[in-house]
Amino acid sequence: MLARLQNHTAARLVVLMVAFLALNAAVAGPLSAMVETTSRFMALVVLALGVLAAIASIRLYRWVIGKLENRQASEVEPGTARAGLVRGALAGVGLFVVVVLLIATFGGYDSLSGGSLWAALATAGMMTAVATIEEIVFRGILFRLLEQLTGTVGALVGSALVFGFLHLINPNGSLWGAVAIAIQGGLMLGACYAVSRSLWLPIGLHFGWNYAQAGIFGAPVSGSDSSGGGILESTLDGPLLISGGEFGPEASLFSVLVCSVLTVYFLRRLRRLSRTEAVS
């Protein structure tokens, strides 16, 4: 069995996807149930559990890749972790702040009130685990192995579609929300990985975006009923393409447009890198 997985990329893709999606469900489920707490103690527990789950997931990924691919997982090289995570997180928060300002400018905000610092800490724990495991699944496994099978363009499109349409299972999932997630999240994060060849930058970007939504502005994330609480609490209103409706701000046209700017930047960099490698 091990030898078959080592020699067959498609089989390895399926097995790893199933295994790490199961891990994501096992981690996200309990954390989602705990994240709504306003208890100081429980908030710190969720924060600690989320960070520990993220660290354990990275170590598990490195071990599995070592066994199945006979290599060190350079995409999670510890020495580049801090820079990638910090830059990605700042970019993610910055992108979402721009989205909030656009939604507010066009009348998509009904109200903005104070939230809970402790709930925001719990949300940070959950989003740390979710961003880490989802990036392992969709970029470290799906994108990387699809690229070996279909090339970079196929990996970008395929991983984006799977990433987007898996969000249909969320309680407030919708077809438009899934399409929006595929464009703004799937393509952006796939292009980010294709350029950096590291999971740290997309993990940071994914975390920063999600945390800004739930942990700072208290808005729903990707149609989920259990996104956690934030420092602020947002009440969105108005047309779907402006506010995002029940799915949350990610279904706003502004999210798609703002993230597309960064996606184009990454794709242009990827094209330049490809030309440089071809010349050399």
Per-residue pLDDT of the chain (280 residues; tens, 9 = 90+): 666 666 788 889 999 999 999 999 999 989 988 887 668 899 999 999 999 999 999 999 999 999 999 999 999 999 999 999 999 999 999 999 999 999 999 999 887 788 888 999 999 999 999 999 999 999 999 999 999 999 999 999 999 999 999 988 888 888 999 999 999 999 999 999 999 999 999 999 999 999 999 999 999 888 787 777 889 988 888 899 999 988 999 999 999 999 999 999 999 999 988 755 544 3
The pairing of beta strand 109-114 with beta strand 232-236: antiparallel
Provide the pLDDT for residue 215: 94
Give the integer Cα–Cα distance in Å for 27 and 33. Answer: 10
- The reported pLDDT for the residue numbered 111 is 79
- Tell me, what's the pLDDT at 6? 64
Task: Judge contact between 153 and 169, C-beta under 8 A.
Answer: no
Tokens standing for residue 78: 């510890």
pLDDT at 276: 53
> How many CA atoms lie less than 13 Å away from 71 in the CB half-sphere?
7
Token pair of 45, please? 């527990």
Provide the pLDDT for residue 112: 78
pLDDT at res. 279: 42
Question: Token pair of 215, please?
Answer: 């942990």
Closest by alpha carbon to 99, among 212, 196, 199, 9? 212
Structure tokens, 23: 């891990």
Alpha-carbon distances of 2 from 64, 102, 124, 188, 238, rounded to whole Å? 11, 51, 37, 33, 54
SS3 of residue 5 by DSSP: helix
